[in-house]
Amino acid sequence: MTTPESQSPPPQPSVPESKDRVYRSPAGLAGGVLLLALIAWLGIDAVVGGEGSTPWKALAAMLFLVPLVVAYTVRPAVFANEERLRVRNPFRVVTLPWDRVDSLRSGYSNEVFDEAGTKYQLWAIPVSLRARKKAARREDRRLAGDTRARGGRTGGGRGAGAAEVPDGPVRAESDRMMDELRELLESRELRAGAKGEKADAAPGEVVVRWAYEVVVPAVAGAVLLAVLLGLG
């Protein structure tokens, strides 16, 4: 007599993770690529055509400069989804579940504060006062055009230039990014309030990790360059 084999339970469907929104500085990326190209051009030229210790000094300088340029221009990014906010700064990566975020603030820099009051700067979303002034001027023109459009409709026709009026408020790019992050934070708070408790979809503490992949080669390059310069 044989015993029937135990049937394994059917696999449970996994809950898909929400896709990250990625925020970066296009100007920072462009500047970083140009600087890396310049360093590569000068460094390779010194390695190939240099004499004596020049090639070694050029290699040490490249080992020191390339990680720093990458850290401050290409590396910074902010990743946000419905569960957490991940801030990748030049030398650190900070992961903050939304239920640990206290506020997002904008001044001369964009910052996130956790519940303990610790501040983390958002390097990937730099503040441009020039862009803010430009956006403010465009917003003034939008409001003026909207007023003219309403006057044209009241008079039985459509005012001149009314078709060029933007649909919504004009904001600087960095301010628009911060508005989207605040909307994510507020939506988490609303869902938590509806449940009458803290949102439990993103448990955990704030995690800070140092970017040793940037720090180690930069320090090694600085030490090697100092030794070579000391030796002449």
Query: Each residue of 147-157: pLDDT tens digit?
Result: 665 655 554 44
- Give pLDDT, residue 63: 95
- Give pLDDT, residue 80: 94
**Length in residues, the chain:** 232
This prediction has a pTM of: 0.73
Question: Contact, 39 vs 69, CB < 8 A?
Answer: yes
- Give pLDDT, residue 163: 44
- Give pLDDT, residue 231: 85
Place of tokens 């902010």: 78
Could you give the CA distance from residue 98 to residue 96 in angstroms, rounded to a whole number?
Answer: 6
What parts of the chain have a pLDDT lower than 50? 1-6, 12-15, 155-163, 199-202
Burial 25-40, CB ≥16 within 10 A → b, else e = beebeeebeebbeebe
